[in-house]
Amino acid sequence: MKDTIKQLVEAYGPAGREEQVAKYLASVMEELVDKVYTDELGNVIAVKQGPANAKKVMLAAHMDEIGVIVTDIDDNGFLRFSNLGGVSPHTLIGQRVRFADGTVGVFGQEKLDNIKDLKLNKMYIDIGVTSREEANAKVSIGDAAVYHREFSQQGSRIVAKSLDNRISCAVLIEVAKRLKNSPHEVYLVFTAQEEVGLRGARTAAYTLDPDYGIAVDVTATGDTPEAPRMAVSLGKGAAIKVKDASVISHPLVKNLLVNTAQAHDIPYQMEVLEWGGTDAGSIHLTRSGIPTGAVSIPCRYIHTPSEMVDLGDVEHCVQLLVGVLEGPLP
């Protein structure tokens, strides 16, 4: 699983430009499921077929990552940019980004009297050129870039960019490997453009029209010094979502997850996230409504170049989802 995670987190795939990640995921899933295809919006949909009249369960993990997009190039070759998803300027100073062709740049900033005044429009990307012409040979207006960071493991903890949400993509791959005898029709969906509005999940759920939906994503923790109070910690198990800003988990799905965890002695935590959202926010509002919940992987430093998760929590998420898919549904 470690090699899969490394491949995923180091890949290039900002929101709306997920093709490299999608190609990798489709190739991996081909050997694990009955059918794999990519839809018009770029979602990768892997199907494990069930018996006749089986209930349909959609698991969704978004494959895009936050990034930046070039808006202007000045005479000296410095790039101005906007965000793709939730990017804080205070996490960018001195960090590196990588464009699709491998061009690497460094974030710089204009002089400020007060660092609290730092905004994205006061920053630029330096790709090491001296003119607009040199820059244009490497980068164009509208090109997107992602954080340039390597995968690192320290004991059971891993640190990397884009663990939000490539770690959940790795979970879905592992679920596909372990799932042997599900009585349900299972759709493992790697969604596009979650970071810019939960978009891929909306179109995929409309097409698939599942009986139940479960989003798989990361969630914040409350276990670091002076962190906001939140009853989620690294290393204490899978987080079962109660609510976030986009969804109140359907009681049927929430209770199914809790009961499965208890039945299989899988460590779990209850997640009440006061902000943010996941693909569950789109899935549950599709068509006439779909009972939807979410399983979350606790993650520190979300939306920074160095996110952190615990591999024990990852394993417990896999076990929980396999348990749900191999058991009866309400």
**How many CA atoms lie within 13 Å of 246's alpha carbon, on the beta-carbon side?**
22
Closest CA to 212 of 26, 28, 24, 50: 50
Q: What are phi and psi of 325, to 5 degrees?
A: -75, -20
DSSP H or E stretch at residue 4: helix 2-10
Within 8 A by CB and 6+ apart from 116, the residues are: none
Closest CA to 213 of 282, 263, 288: 282
Count other Cβ atoms within 10 Å, centred on residue 156.
14
Q: Are 58 and 212 in contact (CB under 8 A)?
A: yes
Catalytic residues: 194
Q: Are 177 and 33 in contact (CB under 8 A)?
A: no
